[in-house]
């Protein structure tokens, strides 16, 4: 499997100041697959994407993409690598001062010398792929949340990246948009022959569309497996997460001192 791996994360530790976020995680993303990384809010999922994209540097261990260790690349090397990656941000991060068309054309104009007629055709093809060819003249403020996410998706795949990263692609979407975005993630990945990493906590949608799932909690990988394995898993954390139970390994109460003491209650004599 590792010879075909596009992304290898080995013994990665990462801390913000002295607060550890990731503690020796190992993950492998094989070429052509859609992988989900799941876990509760603040467990280090987005940090993981930033480490893959080279925005952060691991305290120890390494992240290898297409055979190259990301934190050892110089500025030029990192930018060359990023041209082959695409990232969909949580709320799309469309450039608000540009139209939908210019947003999708942005990378093509910045990174290629293609004539404007070809860029036009490419932009319309990308927008057609996400079902929004008719919106090319609109401004981002005129789009609904789901549409903005799809336009951002078209922009992400504008240069046909080898690796597509999704940061919470389902957050705040209605059920129809959620299904549409979910399907697009799968279809675009297969059509482009890319590898996708979906960071999410939407269990049901992920189980439907991904090939493999990693669960992260408290900075370590607590479970991994195919959707079929995960849905029948009896590991307490996975069970709580998949079934959305209120209490379990992830406690309902934030650690605190004794309740009775806090309320100044005297034991009854």
Partner 1 sequence: MTIVENLRFLGHRIVNAVWRIGYASRFFMMILFYSGTSFRRFHLTIKELFSSGVMSLIIILVAGTFVGMVLGLQGYETLKRYGSESALGSLVALSLVRELGPVLAALLFASRAGSAMTAEIGLMKATEQISAMEMMAINPIARVVAPRFWAGVISMPLLSALFSAMGVFGGYVVGVVLIGVDQGSFWSQMQAGVDFQHDIVNGMLKSFVFGVAVTAIALFEGYDAPPTAEGVSGATTRTVVESSLTILFLDFILTAFMFQGG
| Cβ at position 218, least distance to partner 1 in Å | 26
Nearest of 77, 262, 173 to residue 184 by alpha carbon: 173
Q: Cβ 78 to partner 1, closest distance in Å?
A: 8
Establish if 133 lies at the interface with partner 1 (CB under 8 A).
no
Min dist CB 89 to partner 1, Å, is 5
Determine, following the binding rule CB under 8 A, whether residue 139 of this chain makes contact with partner 1: no
Between 100 and 238, name the residue whose CB sits nearer to partner 1. Answer: 100
| CB 67, min distance to partner 1, A | 19
Least separation in angstroms between CB 106 and partner 1: 7
C-beta of 96 vs 256, nearer to partner 1: 96
* Residue closer to partner 1, measured from CB, 16 or 95: 95
Restricting to residues 68-127, which ones interact with partner 1 according to CB under 8 A? 78-80, 82-83, 85, 87, 89-91, 93-96, 106-107, 110-111
Q: How far apart are the C-alpha atoms of 148 and 178, rounded to whole Å?
A: 12
Q: Is 55 in the site for partner 1 (CB under 8 A)?
A: yes
Binds partner 1 (CB under 8 A): choice among 39, 53, 58, 219? 53
* Contacts with partner 1, residue ranges (CB under 8 A): 53, 55, 78-80, 82-83, 85, 87, 89-91, 93-96, 106-107, 110-111
């Amino acid at each position: 499997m590792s010879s075909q791996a596009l992304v290898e994360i080995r013994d990665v530790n990462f801390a913000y100041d002295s607060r550890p976020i990731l503690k020796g995680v190992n993950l492998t993303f094989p070429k052509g697959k859609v992988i989900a990384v799941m876990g509760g809010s603040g467990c280090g999922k987005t940090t993981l994407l930033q480490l893959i994209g080279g925005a952060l540097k691991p305290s120890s261990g390494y992240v290898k993409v297409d055979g190259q260790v990301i934190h050892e690349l110089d500025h030029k090397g990192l930018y060359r690598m990023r041209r082959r990656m695409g990232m969909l941000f949580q709320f799309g991060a469309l450039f608000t001062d540009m139209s939908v068309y210019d947003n999708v054309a942005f990378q093509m104009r910045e990174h290629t010398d293609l004539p404007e007629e070809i860029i036009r055709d490419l932009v319309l093809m990308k927008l057609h792929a996400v079902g929004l060819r008719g919106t090319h003249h609109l401004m981002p403020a005129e789009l609904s949340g789901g549409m903005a996410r799809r336009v951002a998706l078209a922009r992400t795949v504008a240069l046909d990246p080898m690796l597509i990263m999704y940061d919470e692609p389902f957050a705040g979407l209605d059920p129809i948009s959620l299904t549409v975005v979910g399907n697009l993630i799968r279809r675009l990945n297969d059509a482009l022959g890319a590898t996708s990493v979906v960071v999410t906590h939407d269990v049901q949608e992920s189980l439907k569309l991904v090939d493999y799932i990693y669960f992260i909690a408290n900075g370590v990988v607590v479970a991994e497996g195919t959707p079929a394995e995960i849905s029948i898993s009896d590991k307490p954390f996975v069970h709580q997460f998949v079934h959305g139970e209120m209490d379990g390994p992830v406690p309902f109460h934030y650690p605190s001192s004794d309740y009775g003491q806090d309320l100044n209650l005297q034991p009854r004599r």
